[in-house]
Structure formats: structure tokens, C-alpha cells
Amino acid sequence: MPKKKNIDLKVQIGKLKLKNPVMTASGTFGYGDEYAEFVDLNTLGAIVVKGLSLKPKQGNPPPRIVETPSGMLNAIGLQNIGINSFIKKKMPFLRECKTRVIANFFGDTIDEYVKAAEKLSSVNGIDALEMNISCPNKQSGWIIFGTDPKVTYKVISAVRNSTNLPLIVKLSPNVTDISHMARVAEDAGADALSLINTLSGMAVDIQTRKPKLANITGGLSGPAIKPVAIRMVWECSKKVNIPIIGMGGIISSDDAIEFLIAGASAVAIGTANFIHPGITAEIIKGIRNYMSSKGISSVKEISGSIKC
Amino acid sequence: MPKKKNIDLKVQIGKLKLKNPVMTASGTFGYGDEYAEFVDLNTLGAIVVKGLSLKPKQGNPPPRIVETPSGMLNAIGLQNIGINSFIKKKMPFLRECKTRVIANFFGDTIDEYVKAAEKLSSVNGIDALEMNISCPNKQSGWIIFGTDPKVTYKVISAVRNSTNLPLIVKLSPNVTDISHMARVAEDAGADALSLINTLSGMAVDIQTRKPKLANITGGLSGPAIKPVAIRMVWECSKKVNIPIIGMGGIISSDDAIEFLIAGASAVAIGTANFIHPGITAEIIKGIRNYMSSKGISSVKEISGSIKC
Amino acid sequence: MNRTFKASVVENKKLINNHYLITLNPAVKIRKPKPGNFFMVAVDTGLDPLLKRPFSVHRWIDGNFQLLYRVVGKGTKILSEKKPGNVLDILGPLGKGFPAPKKNRQVILVAGGLGVAPVFSMAENIKNRAPLLFYGTKTKKSLLLIDEFRSLGIDPTVSTDDGSFGTKGNIINVLKRYLTRNSLPVTRYVLYACGPEVMLHALSHLATEYKLKGYIAMEQNMACGIGTCLGCVVKTRKGHKRVCKEGPVFPIEEIVWD
Amino acid sequence: MNRTFKASVVENKKLINNHYLITLNPAVKIRKPKPGNFFMVAVDTGLDPLLKRPFSVHRWIDGNFQLLYRVVGKGTKILSEKKPGNVLDILGPLGKGFPAPKKNRQVILVAGGLGVAPVFSMAENIKNRAPLLFYGTKTKKSLLLIDEFRSLGIDPTVSTDDGSFGTKGNIINVLKRYLTRNSLPVTRYVLYACGPEVMLHALSHLATEYKLKGYIAMEQNMACGIGTCLGCVVKTRKGHKRVCKEGPVFPIEEIVWD
Ligand SMILES: Cc1cc2nc3c(=O)[nH]c(=O)nc-3n(C[C@H](O)[C@H](O)[C@H](O)COP(=O)(O)OP(=O)(O)OC[C@H]3O[C@@H](n4cnc5c(N)ncnc54)[C@H](O)[C@@H]3O)c2cc1C
Ligand SMILES: Cc1cc2nc3c(=O)[nH]c(=O)nc-3n(C[C@H](O)[C@H](O)[C@H](O)COP(=O)(O)OP(=O)(O)OC[C@H]3O[C@@H](n4cnc5c(N)ncnc54)[C@H](O)[C@@H]3O)c2cc1C
Ligand SMILES: Cc1cc2nc3c(=O)[nH]c(=O)nc-3n(C[C@H](O)[C@H](O)[C@H](O)COP(=O)(O)O)c2cc1C
Ligand SMILES: Cc1cc2nc3c(=O)[nH]c(=O)nc-3n(C[C@H](O)[C@H](O)[C@H](O)COP(=O)(O)O)c2cc1C
Ligand code: FES
Ligand code: FES
């Protein structure tokens, strides 16, 4: 196979144009600044920031994380500095980065989601919104927004009507039929889907007989969940027409390419940033090498190219 | 802590009395005979055999298994020798083992489930039935029996009415609310629950762009899924009054004890048998040592002893 | 004798690019493996890689055994980094080996690439039967064991894909030409083959065409190695059969190719 | 200078039961760590264990550094099996170290168990300030570095839980008795402590009671070590703070105990 010289890594997520398909997963890259030492942020497709809420949140008490086989559980509890501080303290830095900035956000009520979306939409330098619907809904007994199709539809359409920015909906994987939830999100006006968020899990200390996380349960991420994530991306990509950002356990460019082949248009790197803080740049390089060695000129050709 | 001499490992699953809480997980221990070389079968709490159907099944084409980080995907496709051959060829051996024999079974239709249950119930030496409801339902467009509460209720009650043996229902973990399915199973007459079955997953070969399994998707098992399994056992044990057999990623006695503390009354060892064929006996020994070092006299004291 | 045991690495030698020869010393006395048998090797102690890896027995030397392997993925990579003194968890010997050839048969050994590992073991076993060896590889550099075969009194007929040694082209064609030029009745020959699927497939066509009998060693992803996971099946004329239990060696006519 | 680097094992020595001293040689020049800084160490190359493990810098010797660690779980077990020549992936130095003591302060070092690792590093740094050392362990056998402290000119005041060496009982009580017997105004003392949570908690009570100032090094499960996962927080009077970033060393009065 001839080695390709002109490799086109550009992808488009709705109206949002990215220089390459590699983004960071929310909550695993802080607000970008901590990683500047390890990776040239300008090379990234996009930076997705830690989930934001209207007001700052303290999050859960420690311990908040525990390692599991090829994975980790986290129960950070969505600790964040709040949208106002984010705009004041973090956006000046992010605006200077030659990459896309995607603001991940959430709320306890539909109203909070809408207000957060409106506020973020008016900020110069934010290129898209990613709404996290794996959060408990105060109004319906703290059941996760993303597990009841009716509530899911309602909160997404409300947000849709309050922003003109590209709207990415991040689905909860803890459902019976993810492709149904994907269609609901598409119908409600999502421009793209992110999947997957963490699987709900738990670990117990057999010496103390106490849960290893203060919050009892937490979200499972890392390589352990990759097979579930790949399956969900594949199932959803057959059912919706909007692009999918694939994530869950990506630790190498091979993993990223696997997501693209299965149907993702872009990928996000999460837990792997903790292990190799420079991993995002290496994954971009690896995708380029793969394309070059296979004679593929545009990364778009890889997306959804699975042969079943 | 004083070392205990009298360690009581006996547990009871409905009417079924086991000498200890360690069973084998269906599909990972064949029909027991292959393991006789590696572990004294008489020491096991119970042997759960490979899932049986009325007629023999060829299963899926290869490749059927692929390794994933700390786990594996399988798409055996429920290959089995059929109930008749099982009774004729495998039961004579199993009857001689001084352990409980639990027949795992499934069907394509409710009628097949009932017939299989009836047939197995009349066999001398079978101590309990475990019905696998993670199988596609021919009558409703091949949707899994265990993911639609109404169908789940129907198939379980039908089986309940056709057997007097202790009936264990093995739930599918690929649902939004496992504790709801657990209650449905309890209402339908299950004497106990097994959880979890495998998570639905997938892997793609980035060189050929083909799924790594001929069946495209498969079931994820092994240590990778343990946090999800522990969480589900815990959630269900709070909601039902029938005993739970916990499984999913157990590879050591510490793992087994973790399941017991989280709410399981017994445990089943699956994938670990492939890695260490003698693991079941070691896990029994490890539970005994744990109890001895903690001064616990009955394993029943461990079950559900989590401190949240 | 238990088939689960620990063995310590005596030597782990790089032969050529990516190909290694590891010598293992079992901590206990183990059954002597037959040519075609294999071992499941745990390359590390953590939970990733999770499953043991299957490798054919290559040689058996005074209670030690050797495996010949190629680095293809993460398990074999880790294996290649093992040093003398490291201890590995092993299961085996497993599977059905090559059956002994009937009297008066001319044995034809066929090896493709690293299929030469078990074929050598068979050759050693039946060297007094003056077997013929047809051995194909990609290129001259990946040829292994030529001297060792010669010291068994076997002069390999070699082909390489790029023609850098022996005949250029695939070894099944070379074998075919040999058969057409030879006058022995086909019933006098018996094949023993191991190699990549595409080679075995071509060989089975040749066997059908020439009505040749013989045995081939198959590969398939494995979890247990002892017949219980049903993961390693291949399609045969009698339904799915397990490579680890009914195989890895199958009568050539039994395999159904897609 | 990049803080991700590879380092090869120079020596990995068992000191006492379960306690090891590893000497690492970075492949590139790295920043010199301060007492209280830590490194995140990848103990293996597979995906299990997945996360790097945090260890305080114990000593820095001509560009090499040493970690003193105890085998408590699977990561440290694997680390203890590393041999000279093995290469590890490392991140660091990380976190805020112990601040330099103000002039005229009498430094009191307090170490519990393996907390002695960073405390020694601090002691080495300020040996000319004639620090006092209060050092408690379970039993005589688990006492480490006594000779090394002496060679810094420090004579440790020791207590053991079982009384097998020094005073019997916990070291905070020993320190308390020392303070009650001494006439220096409390504002002249400054504490530098590392040890198990229960010891630090007791020390903080003592500090409150005696209005002592000082610094303690905290531990918490970590994923990233660089402040982004928010996994490693502890409760402080100013809300949750990250052990890896705002810590591991905190002013003693800042920590809120449950
Ligand atoms: C009976 C038998 C005998 C074998 N003998 C040899 C030998 O003598 N020398 C040698 O180099 N190789 C041999 N192989 C192939 C060898 O098992 C694989 O190359 C090896 O498992 C790859 O592991 P990996 O982790 O490096 O690759 P990865 O691709 O990372 O492995 C991922 C998974 O796929 C499985 N896998 C990948 N390739 C194969 C394969 N070809 N066959 C079976 N499973 C595979 C692995 O076991 C593992 O579970 C044999 C295979 C079988 C079935
Ligand atoms: C800043 C800091 C400095 C440390 N310095 C030292 C040192 O110098 N020497 C030493 O022996 N130990 C030190 N520790 C503790 C050490 O990190 C743990 O003992 C080690 O991570 C245990 O790993 P494991 O895999 O053996 O245990 P496991 O229990 O198998 O580990 C499971 C998970 O829990 C985490 N974990 C377990 N115990 C601790 C702990 N006490 N602190 C943080 N994470 C933990 C592990 O990192 C891992 O993610 C330090 C911890 C921190 C936070
Ligand atoms: C520590 C941690 C914090 C996270 N915080 C958020 C968050 O604030 N918002 C969100 O949508 N997802 C959050 N996630 C989920 C990740 O963005 C990602 O979906 C998930 O971790 C799977 O990818 P991975 O396996 O590559 O980590 C978090 C994950 C981790 C591990
Ligand atoms: C190869 C394989 C075959 C299986 N076959 C069955 C089966 O026939 N019936 C069934 O109910 N579960 C089957 N299972 C699921 C296991 O019994 C068990 O629920 C699951 O693997 C989780 O446990 P583990 O992680 O310990 O393997 C199978 C699992 C594997 C890996
Ligand atoms: S590898 Fe499990 S049946 Fe063959
Ligand atoms: S370890 Fe990630 S924030 Fe401290």
C-alpha cells in the first residue's frame, strides 16, 4: 500500500468543524490548563471541559475514586467551580488555544439546564455545548434524566430551544436500549451524541465491609468498558443520522480507530489522560500513521466503515 | 481476633441446601466432567451446567471469543448437546458427585421454556433449575426475554407452574433498572436470582474492519465487569426477599466475599475457571480463611453485611 | 499428574525479527507432550492480559520444553520480555497430537511460517521414517530450523513468497508439482501440516484433488484450552468441533472451509 | 523539563518484612524533587493495574531518586518484583512539598510508620536546624533509618505500639509529654508530620490544644496526580482541596477531620 502524504483529519460534528477527531472527555481534562505542560493543546480536535453547573458544587466526600480491573470507579459528584468562575477564570486561557472549546454542563432541574445553556451560549469562545444527562433529576425523585425517554426528550428540547450553539447530548449507558435513547435525543433536536458516559458500578472493602467510595456507587470508566462502548456506538450509529462522539476506554490510537470504524465521527479520551497525560497527541499521531499505512486520505472514510 | 475452629459454610438458596456458597457459573464449567482433573467436584457448593435447550444447538460460527481488557467477549450462541443427551450422557457422572447439580436452561419461546423445565424436573439428580432469560424471544422479534418486564413475568410464571424444583432466575444485566426486574422475577415466583449474566459488548478488528466475533456482538465477562455486578447485587438485595447468587468477574476469594457482603447468599465462578481450572476449590479455602481470621462462624453472617 | 504447573524460564532467545525460542523448566514432573499438543501459558500475573495463550510444543528436552513463538500482540510481547528466572503459570499438555503414521506410508510434512514449530516436533519423532518436508515462508530471513532439520536427516524443500530462498511462490504449489512429477500411488502418502489458514485451505483443495489423506493442526482463539468454554470451535463435516479437545490436529478432509 | 519520564531500576532492596527501598535512574534529567513531593509510578505495562501509584520522594542522590514503600496491594506487590534493568513509566515530581521552616523555629519532625519516608527527606534538608524527631511504629522490627537519622545528627525519640523499642504507646502521647515538660513558647515550635491518618488526626488535636503550627502530608486515592480528576480531595476549612495539587502537605489547622 502506498504511504499517503495528504492526510485529512478534519471532521464535522453538526455545524462544528474540528481539525481532527480527537477530543478530551469531560471531567478528565480539567479546564485544559493543567495539561498544557504535557500536550500542545493547539493540536487537539477539541477540549471538552469538566461538567459545569450554574452554581459551584462541592461534590462528594472522599474517597471518590477506586481502581478496578482495567478500570476505575469515580464518584466526584460533579464538583465544579460554577459557570461564572469558569467564564472569568478559565475562558481567557481557553480562548487563546487554537482548538474548539466545548462546554459540558448539567443541572438538577430542567430550568437549571436551560439557564446554564443560555449563559454558556453567550460566552465568546465556546464553540459547542455538551449536555450531560446522566445526572439525577431533582423533580422526579433523583432519577437520572437520561434513563426515562420522556424526561430525556423534555430536557433536551428545552435546552435546544435555548441555544444556537451545536448541541451535543451525552447519553447515559445504563439503559436497556441505548439506540432508543439516541433516537429520542435526535428527535429532541440534538446535533450530535456523545457516548458513553460511565457505567454504574460499586466496590466494597472486605476488611471494613464498607463501600470503597463514600458515595457507595460510582461511574466505571477505562479500558474495562470499551467493549460495551463500542457496541453502543455501533447500535446507535445504525439508528440515528446525527454524528456520534465515541468514548469509553480509549487508551491508544488503535482503540480510537476501533470507535471510528464502529460508527463514531470523533472520539474523546477520558481516563487515559490520567495514566498518560500526553496520550491525546499520541493518539492523533497514531490515527495519522494508520491512515498513511492504509492509504486512507480522509478520516471521514473510516467512520462507520465496519464490515458486518 | 481469635481463630475460629468451627466454620460453617452452609447456605440455603430457597429450599436448596448447599454445603458452601461456591457454585460454578453456567457455560464456564461444561458439564463438570472436564474439571474433575483439576478440582475435587465433591467440594463444590453446586455445579451449574452449560445452558440446555430441548434440542441440541450448533451455536454460532467461529470466532466466538475474544479477549478484552481484564475481560472477554463470548458469542458461543448457546451451543449445547440438548436435554436428552445431557440426561443420558452427562447425568450419570453428575449423579455420582457429592454436590448439588443445577440445570441451566433456556428456550426460544415460552413453550420451549416450559417443556424444558418439565423435562428437567423429572430427572433424578437435578437439584434445582436456573433459567437463563438473556435469550432472544422468537415470538417478539428476537428481543431478549429478560429486558421486557411483561415478557419476563410471563415466561417466569409459566416455568414456575411447571416445576417443583427450586427455580433460580438468571437476570440480564443489560437493563435500565435491574432491581425492578428482580422484583418482577420474585413476583413471578422465582425462588432465587442469579446475577449477573454478561454485559452486551463488541470488538472490531481495525486491520480487517470486521467485528472480531462472527456474531458481531457478544457477552462481556470477567474481572472487568465486577464493579457493575457488585452494584447490581447490592441494588437487588435491597429490593427483594429471595436469595441472590452473585457472579461476574470473581477471580479470588476476596472477590467472592465482596459479593457476599454486598448482598449475595452464594456466588458463582465463571470466566476464572478458564484461567485457573482449580480456582473454585481455592476460593472455598479462601472464604474459610477469611472467616477464621475474622472470627466469623457462619458464612450467612457475611451475606448482606455491608455497612453503608 | 496435574496439568496445571509453574515453570521457570531457562532461556528466552530471539531467533530472528519477532521470533523467539523460550525454554521452560517445569517445577514439577509433567506429562511428556506429543507432537501437536499445546500448552496454555499465562504470560503475566495481572488481570490484563487475562487469558492464557496457546503455544504448540516445539521440543521436549529432558523434562524441559521449548516453545517457538512470534510476537503478534500484547501477550506475546510480554512473553518476549521474560527473563531467566521468571516463573510462568502453565496448563498442559493439551489437545490431540498428530497420530503416528501407518506403516509403509511416505510422510509429507508441510509447514508454513511458524507452523514449523509443531512440524519440527513431528519430524523429530518420525525421523527414522524419512519424511519429506515442504516448508514455505515469506522470505529467506524468516526461515527457521533449516540446520536442525538437516541434522535429523531431512532436507527441506523450501519456497519463499519473494523468491529470496528456494522456489518463489507458495509451498502448496511446490508440493503439487512434486506430486505430479512423482509416481507413488497417492494412498502411499500421508500429510502432516501446520501453517496459516490460507495455506491449510489450499492444502485441503490439493488433498481433495489428489485424494490425499493427512492431518492438519488448526488454530482458533481459546479461553480455556480444556474443552469447556466452547470458544475454539471450527466447522467440520460432523458439526462444530473444539480445536483444544478434538483438535488441534484434525484429519484434513474433516474441516469445512468458508 | 517534562515531568513524564522513564526510569530504570538500579536497585530494589527488601529492608524488612514487606518494606522495600527502590532506587530509580531517570532516563532524562528531571526536576529535583522537594521533601514532600511525590511521584506517580506505573508499576507495569498492562492495563491492570491501570493507574499509576503515588510514592513520596525519599531521597535524591545525584540525579537518582529513591522511594521507600510497603507492599499493601497488587500494585506494590508487582513493584516489589521489579529487577535492576526493568524500566518504569513515571510522572513527577508532583504536589506541594514541605515549606521551609521560618528562622528561629524549633522544627519537630513527626513520623508514623512509613511516613518516615518523606520525613527523612525533610530531615536531610534541614539537618543544620537541629530538628527533633518523634518516630512511632508498631514494633521494633518495623523501625527504619535509625542509623541514617543519627548520621544526620538527629537522635530519634521512638515509641512502639508493643513497647519493643523506645516508649510503649503512640508517638503523639510521647510528643505531648515532651511539650508539657518543655518551657519553650509554643510559637517557637513548628511541626512537620507524615503518618497514618489516625496519627495525623491525633496530632491535629494536640496542635489545637497547644496552639502549635505545622504541616502534615496527607494521603488519598489518586488517579491523575496533576489536579484534573478531582479524585484525591480532602476536606479542609476552605472546602475540598486536592492532595495532589494543593497538597500533599497542608497546614495542620486546615484539615477537617470526620
Ligand atoms: C493450538 C495452538 C497452537 C499455537 N501454537 C503457536 C506456536 O507454537 N507459536 C506461536 O507463535 N503461536 C502459536 N499459536 C498462536 C498464538 O496462540 C497466538 O499468536 C497468541 O495467542 C497471540 O497472543 P497475543 O496476546 O500476542 O495477541 P493478541 O492479538 O493481543 O491476542 C488477543 C487474543 O487473541 C488470541 N489469539 C490471537 N491470535 C491467535 C491465534 N493465532 N490462535 C489462537 N488465539 C489467538 C490470543 O490468545 C488472545 O486471547 C497457537 C495457537 C493455537 C490455537
Ligand atoms: C502523596 C502520597 C504519597 C505516598 N507515599 C508513599 C510512600 O512513600 N511509600 C508507600 O509505601 N506508600 C506511599 N503512599 C501510599 C501508596 O500510594 C499506596 O500504598 C499504594 O498506592 C498502594 O497500591 P497497591 O496497588 O499496592 O494497593 P491497592 O490497595 O491494590 O491499590 C488500589 C488502589 O488504591 C490506591 N491506594 C491504596 N492505598 C492508598 C494510599 N494509602 N494512598 C493513595 N492511594 C492508595 C492505589 O493507588 C490504587 O489506585 C503514598 C500515597 C500518597 C497519596
Ligand atoms: C473522574 C471522572 C470525571 C468525569 N466527569 C464527567 C463530567 O463532569 N461530565 C461528563 O459528562 N462526564 C464525566 N465523566 C465521564 C467521561 O467524560 C467519559 O464519558 C467516561 O469516563 C468514559 O470514557 P473513558 O473510559 O475514556 O474515561 C467523568 C469521568 C471520570 C473518570
Ligand atoms: C463462554 C461463556 C459461556 C456462557 N454460557 C452461559 C450459558 O449457557 N448460560 C448462562 O446462563 N450463562 C452463560 N454464561 C454467563 C456466565 O454464567 C456468567 O453469568 C458470566 O460469565 C459472568 O460471570 P464471570 O465474569 O465470572 O464469567 C457464559 C459465560 C461465558 C464466558
Ligand atoms: S478453548 Fe475452551 S473449548 Fe477450546
Ligand atoms: S489525583 Fe487527580 S486531582 Fe488529585
For chain C, which residues make up each domain, given as ranges? 4-93, 106-251
In this structure, are residues D229 and A77 in contact, taking their beta carbons and an 8 Å threshold? no
Q: How confident is the model at residue A141 (pLDDT cuts 50, 70, 90)?
A: confident
Residue of A22, A26, A29, A172 best suited for mutating to test ligand 3, as the one with most atoms within 8 Å of CB: A26
Question: How high is the mean pLDDT of chain D?
Answer: 94
- Strand-pairing partners, residue D181, are none
What is the C-alpha separation between B137 and D108, in angstroms, rounded? 72
Percent of chain C with pLDDT over 70: 100
Q: Is the pLDDT of residue B190 over 70?
A: yes
Whole-number pLDDT of residue A4: 57
How confident is the model at residue B4, as a pLDDT? 56
State residue D1's pLDDT score: 66
- Told to judge if B97 belongs to the known catalytic residues of this protein, a careful annotator would answer no
Q: What is the mean pLDDT of residues A179-200?
A: 97
Domain of B186, CATH number, reads 3.20.20.70
Q: Does residue A68 lie in a domain region?
A: no
Q: Which residues contact B170 (CB under 8 A, 6 or more apart)?
A: B26, B104, B130, B131, B132, B133, B134, B193, B194, B195, B197
Asked whether the predicted pLDDT for residue A144 surpasses 90, the reply is no
Of A175, A228, A257, which is closest to B201 when you measure between CB atoms? A228
Separation in Å, CA B255 to CA A69, B250, B267, D116? 11, 5, 10, 33
The architecture of the domain spanning D4-93 is Beta Barrel (2.40)
pLDDT at A216: 96
In a domain, B306, yes or no: no
Query: Hey, what's the cell of B87?
Result: 440426561
Ligand 3 center to A47 CA (angstroms): 13
Q: How far is CA A128 from CA A21, A81, A91, D125, in A?
A: 15, 19, 14, 50
Nearest ligand to the C-alpha atom of residue A194? 3
Grid-cell match 465487569, residue found: B225
Ligand nearest to the CA of B273: 4
pTM: 0.96
Q: What is the DSSP track for A209-228?
A: -SBSSTTSEEEEESGGGHHH
**pLDDT value at residue B3:** 57
- Given CA atoms D89, D92, D95, D101 in this order, what sign does their dihedral have? positive
pLDDT tens digits, B144-159:
889 999 999 999 999 9
Which is the closest atom of ligand 3 to the Cα of D229? 1
Residue B167 confidence (pLDDT) above 70: yes
What pLDDT does residue D17 have? 87
In this complex, is the C-beta atom of C45 within 8 Å of any C-beta atom belonging to chain D?
A: yes
Residues 6+ apart with CB under 8 A from C151: none
Q: How confident is the model at residue C21 (pLDDT cuts 50, 70, 90)?
A: very high
Query: Which residues have C-beta within 8 Å of that of residue C218, sequence separation ≥ 6?
Result: C200, C234, C243, C247, C248, C249, C250, C255
Q: Which fold has domain D106-251?
A: Rossmann fold (3.40.50)
CA distance linking residue A232 with residue A193, whole number of Å: 11
Separation of alpha carbons B93 and B238, rounded Å: 38
Which of B245, B234, B254, B247 has the alpha carbon at shortest distance from B273?
B247
B28: exposed, middle or buried (Cβ count in 10 Å: 0-12, 13-18, 19+): buried
Question: How do residues D121-161 score in pLDDT, each as one tens digit?
Answer: 999 999 999 999 999 999 999 999 999 999 999 999 999 99
* pLDDT at residue B1 is higher than 60: no
Q: Is A24 part of the contact surface with chain D (CB cutoff 8 Å)? A: no
Q: What burial class does residue C86 get, using C-beta atoms within 10 Å of its C-beta: 0-12 exposed, 13-18 middle, 19+ buried?
A: middle
DSSP chain D: --SEEEEEEEEEEEEETTEEEEEEEESS--PPPPTT-EEEEE--SSSBS-S-EEEE--EEETTEEEEEEE--SHHHHHHHT--TT-EEEEEEEESB-PPPPPTT-EEEEEEEGGGHHHHHHHHHHTGGG--EEEEEESSGGG---HHHHHHTT---EEEETTSSSSEES-HHHHHHHHHHH--S-GGGEEEEEE--HHHHHHHHHHHHHHT-EEEEE-----SSSSSSS--SEEEETTEEEETTTT-BEEEGGGBPP-
The domain in which residue B93 lies consists of: 11-59+78-200+222-301
The packing angle between helices A110-121 and A149-160, to 10°, is 30
Dig out the grid coordinates for D197 from the structure: 491518618
> What are chain B's partners, defined as 3 or more CB pairs within 8 angstroms?
A, C, D
Helix axes A253-262, A226-239, angle to 10 degrees: 30
Domain count, chain B: 1
Q: Is C73 on the interface with D (CB under 8 A)?
A: no
C-beta C233 within 6 A of ligand 5? no
Is residue A165 included in any domain, yes or no?
Answer: yes
Residue A205 lies in a domain: no
How much is the average pLDDT of B31-56?
96
Condensed to tens digits (0 to 9), the pLDDT of residues C137-194 reads: 999 999 999 999 999 999 999 999 999 999 999 999 999 999 888 777 878 899 999 9
| Distance of alpha carbon A224 from alpha carbon B173, whole angstroms | 16
How many CA within 13 A on the CB side of residue D62?
0
**pLDDT digit string (tens) for C53-92?**
999 999 999 889 999 999 999 999 999 988 888 899 999 9
Helix, strand or coil for residue B308?
A: coil
Give the N- to C-terminal CA distance of chain A in Å, as an integer. Answer: 23
In this predicted structure, the answer to whether residue B189 has a pLDDT above a threshold of 60 is yes
In a domain, B128, yes or no: yes
pLDDT tens-digit series, residues B274-285: 999 999 999 999
Closest CA to B77 of B224, B269, B216, B229: B216
Q: Are A220 and A71 in contact (CB under 8 A)?
A: yes
Cβ burial, residue D119 (10 Å; 0-12/13-18/19+): buried
Arithmetic mean of pLDDT, B285-306: 97
Whether the CB of D94 sits within 6 Å of ligand 6: no
- Can you give the pLDDT at residue A140? 75
- CA-based nearest distance B225→chain A, Å: 7
The yes-or-no verdict on residue B5 having pLDDT over 80 is: no
Which pLDDT belongs to residue B125?
96
Residues 6+ positions from C167 with CB-CB distance below 8 Å: C157, C158, C159, C160, C174
- Provide the 3-class DSSP secondary structure of residue B104: strand
- The reply to whether C122 touches chain B by the CB within 8 Å rule is no
Query: pLDDT tens, D231-243?
Result: 999 999 999 999 9
* C-beta atoms surrounding B239 within 10 Å: 15
A18 within domain boundaries: yes
Give D17-55 pLDDT, tens digit per residue: 899 999 999 999 999 999 999 999 999 888 999 999 999
Residue B6 lies in a domain: no
Q: How many whole angstroms from A87 Cα to the centroid of ligand 2?
A: 36
What mean pLDDT, rounded, does chain A reach? 95
Nearest Cα of chain A lies from the Cα of B109 at a distance, in angstroms, of 21
- For residue A3, the model assigns a pLDDT of 57
* Mean pLDDT of the B8-21 span: 96
| Protein residue with least CA distance to atom 10, ligand 2 | D69
What is the predicted pLDDT for the residue at C1?
Answer: 65
Of D79, D11, D82, D99, nearest in space to D39 by CA: D79
Q: Residue B15's pLDDT is what?
A: 92
Q: Model confidence at B2, in pLDDT bands (50, 70, 90)?
A: low
